[in-house]
Amino acid sequence: MPTAADALKAHAELLALAREHSLLSSCADLLEWDGETFMPRGGVGHRAEQLAALAGVLHEKASAPRVGRLIEKAWPLGVDRGPDSPEAANLRELKRRHERAARLPRRLIEERARVAAVAQQAWAQAREERDFAVFRPWLEKIVELVRAEAAAIAPSLDPYDALLDLYEPGMTGAEISRLIAEIGPPLRTLLAAHGPFGKRRGRSGGAGPGAGVLEREFPTDRQKLFVQAVAASLGFDLEQGRLDVGQHPACIAIGPGDTRLTARYAERQFASGFFAVLHEVGHGLYDQGMDPADAGTPMHDAPSLGMHESQARLWENLVGRSRGFWKHFFPRLRNVFHEALARTKPEAFLAAVNRVQPTLNRAEADEVTYNLHVAIRFDLERSMVRGDLAAADLPEAWRAAYAAALGIEPSDDAEGCLQDGHWAAGLFGYFPTYLLGNVYAAQIYAAAARDLGDPDAAFARGDFSVLLGWLREKVYRPGRRFSAAELLRRVTGEAPAPAAMLAALQARYRPD
Amino acid sequence: MPTAADALKAHAELLALAREHSLLSSCADLLEWDGETFMPRGGVGHRAEQLAALAGVLHEKASAPRVGRLIEKAWPLGVDRGPDSPEAANLRELKRRHERAARLPRRLIEERARVAAVAQQAWAQAREERDFAVFRPWLEKIVELVRAEAAAIAPSLDPYDALLDLYEPGMTGAEISRLIAEIGPPLRTLLAAHGPFGKRRGRSGGAGPGAGVLEREFPTDRQKLFVQAVAASLGFDLEQGRLDVGQHPACIAIGPGDTRLTARYAERQFASGFFAVLHEVGHGLYDQGMDPADAGTPMHDAPSLGMHESQARLWENLVGRSRGFWKHFFPRLRNVFHEALARTKPEAFLAAVNRVQPTLNRAEADEVTYNLHVAIRFDLERSMVRGDLAAADLPEAWRAAYAAALGIEPSDDAEGCLQDGHWAAGLFGYFPTYLLGNVYAAQIYAAAARDLGDPDAAFARGDFSVLLGWLREKVYRPGRRFSAAELLRRVTGEAPAPAAMLAALQARYRPD
């Protein structure tokens, strides 16, 4: 019978091991960041091998039988301290991680890391050359590997659910399907009313005021300086992080004091660069807002990717497309890009950043169509994982899905199924977290507005610190102390539900 | 009794373990590079922990008893294949590495990595603030740790010899002392004759022609472009590497296809930036020239740091300060920096880059005084390691040594004992490899000239490929197949000896 002292000792050893795991895992994060930003072309092969070796060591450590025994010994401590205690939270996550690792053969882990690293290069090349054939064999390999992974982790589950649970613990494909069914009709109604063929073109504006504003000349060097200044205004600490040009936008948290954002800029696509950075800033504010005392422990993370994503979407959209935000920033933007914006009215600019328009690109989609993009990916990836859709048939299935959902089709696969790098990275079951992010974001933002009053007035004064302070206290500092659903309940009083999101969209796009 | 098949099998497993070790170790290389270049200030603490965790894992793997047993089993294979076989070379190095690791407690390894990472930041701060006191406590800690390391590795050896052997296998402090005694008088004679107070100011120039040429305005952005072009001309492949601005000049080989150089530029100090890059390019050419088939095995490295350094010094000085080199590059340089050089004669420029002048700075020292700088560091670090010199007394001892050897004294410790980061990084016993590098470089260069004829004519045509091809074949591709002394013997027919270096200097500085 283990004593209380045994449990304490086991818990302390587990935390030391967790810290080591987190440090080694953050080495892989730096390798990823470097691959995004500065790695020379010739380094690809070696980088893949480095990531595989690290993945192997991490797996070896996480799956060690000793860890299982320590968790068993320490478990009574979590029970004793109560389900909301840090000890219980850490033990829950350690158990989850250990069980998952113990079920996976090391060979599979290393193979997956190696293949993903090379597949991502093949994907980038395929996208550049607009040639799906370059990526197809790698996609086949990846699907095969994630299927093997799913079967190993949870042989009794639907394989897609096994993967989804990696990113959003406890979530299932069936629940995502229900959610999509619930939001689909109202989103389509909004699209019909406010999209380019809709009757209402006030603020949401099809070809109305502001059309083309965002496609004027915005020199990229000035975009970089401007978004850096905006990031700092929102509260992102650039002494404790960086903002670089990378292959695609990302937030990579290396460790406490080192949170790195990447972005891409194109001269005539101001919105795509700008809102992508706001998105990553949102992720970055979450990472910078966690309790440093938890660093290295399982607590020092968001409870789920959906919850993390919620903060990216909150800052990108609920803050970044608001009237108050642009009341503050538009005059500054116009000073920086005077050639492009000298004669643009603030209202027209606000309309442009809120335009509803079916497009082929998820990352740059407006808030109304965004979730429809995610729904398409969810259907396709679930079919691939279940073996109902062959990789070779993906381009055709993609085109059909876009035609059905948005009435448009990509002219090639670069605009189509090659636009996102997730599958190349082996991330299946990840896309639904974007949808959940939107849902959680709207619920949390509504709760903030209830507590703080309409944040718009503060934004108009350039004050984002009241909102950030509230989010830090309620959402960021607790880290992974609670599950996503429990955290949401504590912050908003609600279970996950799309009503707040739909209400916010309906309010934003109400007839002027 | 192990069979031949057992030995083969053990050897194969050892190589797989060596590859893993090399991959994990190259993750630490990337962390170091990032620390040099892009890491935000807030990331320092976490970086130290990351490096310590990796060092711990590497040590755990290298010291595993299983490795010792495998080496024992595989050993007959090396014997069977002969001492010059790759198998023997790999087994020798693996044995050396395993024995060293097995003698070191993991706690010490991790502590050393952690302390070195923080000490380097303290050193940088101390240098910036010109305040030795900021660094002193860290230097004390570091000296204590390397002494503990030396005692653990080789309790019967002089502690300094134990450390020196890490970088230059088989070398001793006594041999370095002898070498210094041998080269000191002729170098001092050269200095007396050609230094600023000497009688001969022809090419070596004191205040003669070319004085001040290198201190004119050389805009740093153009310096970067120019050295990048020079690096490419010499044969450094920028698709398989990078050249960035870093805290100090370095060559960090991440892996095959990924060799990274860092450099610093100052507008009015052209020579310090330029020759530092040439130096790192030399290291980089060595790394890029090794046999890719050996990658991940112990063979895929230089036999010693002195040998690696020899190639840095060869390209920096024997090539980079030669008449032929500047015959080719000076007109190009003048095109880029026309304001600074429009009225400068080629001869005056050549004199300027070959000026002999006692200065306070090792890295930028001319070829005559350079080894005198190294001799000072050797004496001081040996005294610290042996416990004869306290860290607190270093600044005073430094000033006295410079006064005695070069007749000058630093005005503060930033110019003095804080100028090099080696000790902060825990590198004691490393400095003598610079001296050995000069010695080996001259011997190897003389052998190349015997084989190829005077390389100057080819340089004048911009052709560096013949020399590079020769070096690749003779020196770079063999990697660590032979010891430094054996490689030198095969390439030059000689044992390590300073005659070639002294002869080359005497030839360069002969009366015009």
Q: What is the pLDDT of residue A367?
A: 94
- Measured distance CA(A64)–CA(A57) in Å, rounded: 11
> Does B114 contact A at CB distance below 8 Å?
no
> Does A115 contact B at CB distance below 8 Å?
no
Sequence-distant (6+) residues with CB within 8 A of B469 are none
Closest among B281, B319, B272 to B441, alpha carbons compared: B319
A257/B42 CB distance under 8 A? yes
ipTM over 0.95: no
> Does B57 contact A at CB distance below 8 Å?
yes
Q: What is the pLDDT of residue B312?
A: 98
From the list A87, A149, A280, A309, the catalytic residue is A280
A257/B44 CB distance under 8 A? yes
- Measured distance CA(B36)–CA(B260) in Å, rounded: 11
Closest among A162, A42, A168, A63 to A110, alpha carbons compared: A63
Determine which of A107-116, A146-155, B340-349 has the lowest per-residue pLDDT on average. Answer: A107-116
Chain A residues in contact with B50 by the CB 8 A cut-off are 23-24, 26-27, 30, 255
**pLDDT per residue of chain B (512 residues) written in tens, 0 to 9:** 668 899 999 999 999 999 999 999 999 999 999 999 999 999 989 999 999 999 999 999 999 999 999 999 999 999 999 999 999 999 999 999 999 999 999 899 889 988 998 899 899 999 999 999 999 999 999 999 999 999 999 999 999 999 999 999 999 999 999 999 999 999 999 998 887 766 554 444 445 545 689 999 999 999 999 999 999 999 999 999 999 999 889 999 999 999 999 999 999 999 999 999 999 999 999 999 999 999 999 999 999 999 999 999 999 999 999 999 999 999 999 999 999 999 999 999 999 999 999 999 998 899 999 999 999 999 999 999 999 999 999 999 999 999 999 999 999 999 999 999 999 999 999 999 999 999 999 999 999 999 999 899 999 999 999 999 999 999 999 999 999 999 999 999 999 999 999 999 999 887 55
Identify whether the C-beta of residue A311 lies closer than 8 Å to the C-beta of residue A173: no
User: Is pLDDT of A199 > 60?
Assistant: no
Identify whether the C-beta of residue A134 lies closer than 8 Å to the C-beta of residue A438: no
- Which of B27, B42, B256 lies at the smallest CB-CB distance from A240? B42
Sequence-distant (6+) residues with CB within 8 A of A306 are A167, A168, A171, A432, A433, A435, A436, A437, A439, A440, A484
B239/A40 CB distance under 8 A? yes
Q: What percent of chain A has pLDDT over 90?
A: 90
Q: In angstroms, what CA-CA distances link A394 with A135, A148, A391, A398?
A: 11, 20, 5, 6
Residue of A nearest to B56 (CA): A20
Q: Per-residue pLDDT averaged across A82-101, rounded?
A: 95
Q: What is the pLDDT of residue A141?
A: 97
User: Is pLDDT of A308 > 80?
Assistant: yes
> Does B30 contact A at CB distance below 8 Å?
yes
Chain A residues in contact with B27 by the CB 8 A cut-off are 27, 31, 50, 53-54
Identify whether the C-beta of residue A301 lies closer than 8 Å to the C-beta of residue A477: no
Chain B residues in contact with A34 by the CB 8 A cut-off are 30, 34
Identify whether the C-beta of residue A179 lies closer than 8 Å to the C-beta of residue A435: yes
Looking only at the bridges linking them, the beta strands covering B241-245 and B250-255 are: unpaired
B115, two tokens:
């302390």
- The more confident residue out of B363 and A210 is B363
Identify whether the C-beta of residue A449 lies closer than 8 Å to the C-beta of residue A318: no
User: How many CB atoms sit inside 10 A of residue B41's CB?
Assistant: 12
Which listed CATH number (1.25.40.10, 1.10.1370.30, 1.10.287.70, 3.40.50.300) goes with A173-508?
1.10.1370.30
Q: In angstroms, what CA-CA distances link B90 with B4, B65, B104?
A: 17, 18, 21
B49, two tokens:
């922990």
User: How many CB atoms sit inside 10 A of residue B498's CB?
Assistant: 21
Identify whether the C-beta of residue B302 lies closer than 8 Å to the C-beta of residue B479: yes
> Does B56 contact A at CB distance below 8 Å?
yes
Active site residues of B: 280
User: Is pLDDT of A195 > 80?
Assistant: no
Q: What is the pLDDT of residue B199?
A: 54
List, as one string, the DSSP characters of A278-294. HHHHHHHHHHHHS-GGG
What distance in Å separates residue A271's CA from the closest CA in chain B?
A: 27
A280 given a catalytic annotation: yes
Chain A residues in contact with B47 by the CB 8 A cut-off are 255, 258
- Measured distance CA(A383)–CA(B253) in Å, rounded: 43
Identify whether the C-beta of residue B511 lies closer than 8 Å to the C-beta of residue B202: yes
Determine which of A202-216, A334-348, B417-431 has the lowest per-residue pLDDT on average. Answer: A202-216
Identify whether the C-beta of residue B381 lies closer than 8 Å to the C-beta of residue B375: no
- Measured distance CA(B86)–CA(B286) in Å, rounded: 19
Q: What is the pLDDT of residue B229?
A: 97
A49/B244 CB distance under 8 A? no
State the average pLDDT for chain A: 94
Q: What is the pLDDT of residue A509?
A: 86
Identify whether the C-beta of residue A487 lies closer than 8 Å to the C-beta of residue A478: yes
Q: What is the pLDDT of residue A211?
A: 64
B50/A255 CB distance under 8 A? yes
Identify whether the C-beta of residue B38 lies closer than 8 Å to the C-beta of residue B252: no
> Does A27 contact B at CB distance below 8 Å?
yes
> Does B400 contact A at CB distance below 8 Å?
no
- Which of A31, A38, A238 lies at the smallest CB-CB distance from B27? A31
Identify whether the C-beta of residue B225 lies closer than 8 Å to the C-beta of residue B336: yes
What distance in Å separates residue B269's CA from the closest CA in chain A?
A: 27
Looking only at the bridges linking them, the beta strands covering B241-245 and B258-263 are: parallel
Please state the domain extents for chain B: 4-157, 173-508
User: How many CB atoms sit inside 10 A of residue B148's CB?
Assistant: 16
Entry pTM: 0.92
